[in-house]
Every structure is written in C-alpha cells, then in structure tokens.
Amino acid sequence: MKRSIACIALTLLPLFAAAQDRRSDDYVEYRQAAFTAMGWHFKKMGAMIQGRAPYDALEFKRRAEAVSALSQLPAEGFLPETQDTQLATRLKPEMWYQKERFDTYMQDLITATAELAAQAGAKDKDDLRSVYGSAARQCKNCHDRFRESD
C-alpha cells in the first residue's frame, strides 16, 4: 500500500512541477504585460514632451491616467516562486535580496505617475516637463538597479 502511494506520488510529481512552473510563468507573463502596456503609453507621452509628436493635452491626460493605473499592477507579479520561471526575464536575481528597496521604488513610481496624471491636461506641454521627468526617473532608478541592460 505504502509502495503504491509512493508510485502514484512519483507519477504525479512531474505534473505538479509543471503546474508550479506554469504558475510562475503566468506571474512573469502578467508583470511583463503590465510593464509593456505602461511603457507604450509612457513613450508616447515622451514623444509629445520632446516634440517628436504633436502635443495633444487630452491624449496626454488619457495616457498619463493609463500609466498611473498601470503602475499599480506589476508588483503582485513579483512572487518569490517566479525565480524558477522558464520565461526570459531581465530581472536581476539580486532583487530578491533587496525586496524592500524594490518595493520602495514601486511605491515611488505609483506616487510619481499619480502626480503626472494629476497635472496632465495642462495647455502648455512645457509645464509637464518636470513632472514627466520625475516619473521617468523612477523608471530609471529601478531599471538601473534591478533590470539587466539590453
């Protein structure tokens, strides 16, 4: 009896392992999706600020609000179990030893993008340059420390 239970357990083991991996991959896929959508809107705002695209106050506001909402999403994707993911990720492994700092960066991003969304709508894009720059700096802080470069 004991032996047959052990046999069943051994047979099922790869299934559990696969389920676990798949779960990790779901988390990674989710957090990368949130960053991809965030980057999309952030870059379009950057193009307006830098004059590579015509400035449209309403469009800028819509994108700033999207970024502010999106900034709250990725954090829950950083589960310690995702260290075993099979997906490509640029996250530096040392993040897991500095999770508190990482969480602070995430919170700073949320605050900075909320401020950007609050000020968005200004008639003159130059009034948004500094608040956009603050949000961009939050992205960069975290990328510099915790993301592998290209």
Which residue ranges make up the annotated binding site? 139, 142-143
Beta bridge partners of 91: 147
- Region 36-65 residues binding a copy of itself, contact defined as CB under 8 A: 36-37, 40, 65
Cβ atoms of 75 and 95 within 8 Å: the answer is no
- Looking at 33-41, 47-55, 112-120, 125-133, which segment touches a copy of itself (CB under 8 A)? 33-41
- Looking at 27-35, 91-99, 103-111, 135-143, which segment touches a copy of itself (CB under 8 A)? 27-35
Least separation in angstroms between residue 38's CB and a copy of itself is: 9
Cα separation of the two ends of the chain? 54
Q: Is 79 in the site for a copy of itself (CB under 8 A)?
A: no
Least separation in angstroms between residue 82's CB and a copy of itself is: 14
Please tell me the distance from the alpha carbon of residue 125 to that of residue 13, in angstroms, as a whole number.
58
Cβ atoms of 85 and 24 within 8 Å: the answer is yes
Cβ atoms of 23 and 81 within 8 Å: the answer is yes
Q: Which two tokens stand for residue 101?
A: 């700092």
Residue of 34, 48, 120, 139 interacting with a copy of itself (CB under 8 A): 34
Cβ atoms of 63 and 41 within 8 Å: the answer is yes
- Looking at 6-14, 23-31, 79-87, 109-117, which segment touches a copy of itself (CB under 8 A)? 23-31
Residues forming contacts to a copy of itself in the complex (CB under 8 A) are 26, 29-30, 32-34, 36-37, 40, 65-66, 69-70, 72-73
